Amino acid sequence: MSEPLIRTIGLTKIYGSGETAIRALDDVNLVVNDGEFISIMGPSGCGKSTLLNMLGALDQPTTGEVWVAGQSLAKLKNVDDFRAQTVGFVFQLHNLLPTLSALENIEVPMQGRVANPRARRERAQHLLELVGLQDRAGHLPNQLSGGQRQRVAVGRALANSPKLVLADEPTGSLDSQSGDEILQLLDKLNQVEGTTIAVVTHDPHVAQITQRVLRMQDGRIVEDHRVNNPLEEDLRMLAFSKLGEVILDPDDEPLAEISPEEEVILRKLIQRLRTNGTGN
Ligand SMILES: Nc1ncnc2c1ncn2[C@@H]1O[C@H](COP(=O)(O)OP(=O)(O)OP(=O)(O)O)[C@@H](O)[C@H]1O
Ligand SMILES: [Mg+2]
């Protein structure tokens, strides 16, 4: 069997020390194969971003190891090279440079790596096309919509053809249509280019598009499953929702109300059951 793209061994991250220490990651052992598209879910503060940052060598573990593309991140000779060449990052807030155009923003990671300016420009143009913004090349970030900015950020993440794309709530600040476009883009990237993608999300709909869902809690991976069929996914979302928790807990007060997110899950589930459990 070939070496997985990502392997973490006993990965632990503790912030602070003494009484106030926070175990943001607690003995995470994760294997992700080349070409997988995974999502990472879990409540706020459970360690999702911390995990992503460790995978991208943006931060260092307290103990444990991270291996990406055959390299131990603790032993990297040049961390900047690793970040620029092996991984591409997409964050919730896109961090585009405000004074550079869409095209120039995509070129930034290639500087110092692709020597020929014309080659940089051609690659950036190709990526701008890939994200569907060829007609916005000269626009500054503040002349683009939120969804378009995020698409530029995806283009920028792909500048150096990374093996791994790490996306931290890439659709978090977008309306649902723009969010869908970003997702479709990531999905296409995974299918067509075979890029391995890890996306952190709070949105069950996002998770369903990926092939594998990890669920974290208190710094640990508490669930790791392959996405089989939509109905099963809906049931899982329900099981892990606050509503699911409340229903399971015999000491809890009777339900007074359900949250809007839970209502969405329930509505989808009921619709799916009514259409014979096979709808998409
Ligand atoms: N630089 C830091 N210093 C101290 N504590 C931190 C630091 N970064 C994160 N933490 C803590 O580590 C825990 C995990 O944080 P992390 O950002 O990974 O959560 P998350 O799952 O991404 O949450 P969210 O969904 O809100 O983004 C949290 O309890 C957080 O308060
Ligand atoms: Mg986070």
Query: Is pLDDT of 257 > 80?
Result: no
Q: Give me ligand 1 centre to Cα 22, in Å.
A: 9
Does any ligand 1 atom lie closer than 6 A to the CB of residue 15? yes
Segment 128-142, tens digit of pLDDT: 998 999 999 999 999
pTM of the model: 0.85
Q: How is the chain split into domains, by residue range?
A: 228-280
Query: Could you tell which of 14, 15, 220 is best to mutate to test the pocket of ligand 1, judged by most ligand atoms within 8 Å of the CB?
Result: 15
Question: What percent of the chain stands above pLDDT 90?
Answer: 61
Q: 279: pLDDT confidence band, cut at 50, 70 and 90?
A: very low
On the question of pLDDT at 278 being above 60, the answer is no
If you measure from the C-alpha of residue 89 to the centroid of ligand 2, how many angstroms do you get, rounded to a whole number?
14
Pairing relation of β-strands 220-226 and 212-217? Answer: antiparallel
Which is more confidently placed, 233 or 108? 108
- Give dist(CA 244, CA 257) in Å, integer: 13
- For a ligand 1 pocket test, name from 13, 17, 49 the mutation site with the most ligand atoms within 8 angstroms of its C-beta: 49
User: Rounded to the nearest whole angstrom, what is the distance from the C-alpha of residue 51 to the centroid of ligand 2?
Assistant: 9
Which residue reads 């990526």 in tokens?
Answer: 127
* Long-range contacts of the stretch 12-21 (C-beta < 8 A, 24+): 12/61, 12/62, 12/63, 12/64, 12/219, 13/47, 13/50, 13/54, 13/59, 13/61, 13/62, 13/219, 14/62
Is any ligand 1 atom within 6 A of the Cβ of residue 47? Answer: yes
215 lines ligand 1 (CB under 6 A): no
Distance 51 CA to ligand 1 centre (A): 10
Instruction: Pick the atom of ligand 1 nearest to 43's CA.
Output: 25
Q: Is 50 in the pocket of ligand 1 (CB under 6 A)?
A: yes
How far apart CA 222 and CA 118 sit, in angstroms, is: 48
Is residue 26 over pLDDT 80? yes
Pick from 71, 42, 34, 40: nearest CA to 53: 40
Q: Rounded to 5 degrees, what angle do the CA atoms 129, 135, 141 make? A: 95
Q: What's the CA dihedral at 189, 194, 198, 200 to 10 degrees?
A: 20
- Report the distance separating Cα 110 and Cα 121, nearest Å: 10
Nearest Cα residue to atom 14 of ligand 1: 47
What tens digit of pLDDT does each residue of 1-13 get? 578 999 999 999 9
- Judge whether 222 and 40 are in contact, CB under 8 Å: no
pLDDT of residue 196 exceeding 70, the answer is: yes
32: tokens are 């992700």
Element (H, E) at 104: helix 102-107
Better-scored residue on pLDDT, 14 or 81: 14
Q: How many CB atoms lie within 10 A of CB 115?
A: 9
* Alpha carbon distance 147, 170 (integer Å): 10
> Could you give the percent of the chain with pLDDT greater than 70?
98
3-class secondary structure, 168: strand
Q: What mean pLDDT value characterizes the chain?
A: 89
